[in-house]
Amino acid sequence: ANQIVLHSRPEGMPVAANFKQVSVELPALEQGEFLVKNLWMSVDPYMRGRMIDRESYIAPFIIGQVLEGGSIGEIIKSNNEAFPVGSKVSAMNGWRSHYVTDGADHTLLPQTPINESHFLGVLGMPGMTAWTGLNKIANLKEGETLFVSGAAGAVGSIVCQLGKLMGAKVIASVGSDDKAQHLSKLGVDAVINYKTTKDLSQSLSDAAPQGIDVYFENVGGEHLTAALNNMNDHGRIAVCGMISQYNDTTPTPGPNNLAMIIIKKLKIEGFIVFEHWDSYPQFAKKMGQWLATDAIKAEQTVYEGLEKAPEAFIGLFEGKNRGKMLVSLK
């Protein structure tokens, strides 16, 4: 089997040399085990944090060991009745072509006409993150104004569409005109290209003269400063991610307007989606219906082949994706 291992820890922006493809011999199947051929693997921004040797909510990757991440595979040999040949499983065993497992932490995918890759995106962790942030953290209500950063990505594009379904006015921030046009087509009320705007805070105020009730934070830094300036009294900020800072080698200065939290009596709450996983069945039922009725559109950017996985991962920090960034291993 082929695997991608962490070859060295990135300093700043990750580069191809931080990764290495190796070939390993897989063991013969024992009783209770099965062999999986991966079909899809996910690359996600949080993996950058796991490349740093530090304590966090999830253990760091180890140099020389195969990387991990969301995966969807097909069982091609099995000594385990609960996991028959031909069924598809989701697991955290990405960055490898094949592997042998006893099925611990593996979930059989349901039979559905929806393409299995969506279980890594809209019907998986990123979709669940969007839904959790809006419903459980920010408590978005009909008629409110929602601002979303990183709005064309896996999480952000679902936040935008859920925001519209929940009856909010949605203002989005993205890094290209192409992404902006795409979000407009999805019904987003106003989109700011943060790379070409001179003054993000002013652009936000122009787009939302009535102020912002909920900010879904994916980016951090200047975006947080701009949002704080434009929040309404008793506004809520769901802090999901701060991707603009994941490659920083020195601490970025904090926003200089944190006093807005007091003046506007804001509620700011961070969250990690895995702590909310007990609500997954409730979410999946609703999202399945929205997808089936086209009420939510799930876009993907797909890189072909395991050897492209590092490039796909690095691409997240260069804005190369619209919708969920995936690697096809078929």
Contact of 175 with 193, CB cutoff 8 Å: yes
Residue 229, interface with ligand NDP (CB under 6 A)? no
DSSP character string of 146-173: EEESSTTBHHHHHHHHHHHHTT-EEEEE
Residue 154, interface with ligand NDP (CB under 6 A)? yes
* Sole binder of ligand NDP in the list 35, 120, 123, 316 (CB under 6 A): 316
Task: Give Cα separations from 197 to 58, 159, 204 (angstroms).
Answer: 36, 22, 10
- The 8-class DSSP code of residue 230 comes to H
Structure tokens given for 286: 């609703």
Cα–Cα nearest to 200, from 243, 176, 169, 230: 230
* Sole binder of ligand NDP in the list 71, 117, 129, 230 (CB under 6 A): 129
Residue 231, interface with ligand NDP (CB under 6 A)? no
Which one of 16-24, 31-39, 101-109, 237-245 is the stretch in contact with ligand NDP (CB under 6 A)? 237-245
* Sole binder of ligand NDP in the list 91, 137, 138, 155 (CB under 6 A): 155
Nearer residue to ligand NDP within complex by CB, 21 or 46: 46
* Sole binder of ligand NDP in the list 60, 108, 317, 328 (CB under 6 A): 317
Specify the pairing of strand 19-23 against strand 212-217. Answer: unpaired
Residue 120, interface with ligand NDP (CB under 6 A)? no
Residue 240, interface with ligand NDP (CB under 6 A)? yes
Question: How many Å apart are CA 279 and CA 136, to the nearest integer?
Answer: 10
Residues engaged in binding ligand NDP (CB under 6 A)? 44-46, 126, 129, 150, 152-156, 174-176, 179, 218-219, 240-241, 243-244, 271-273, 316-317, 319, 321, 325
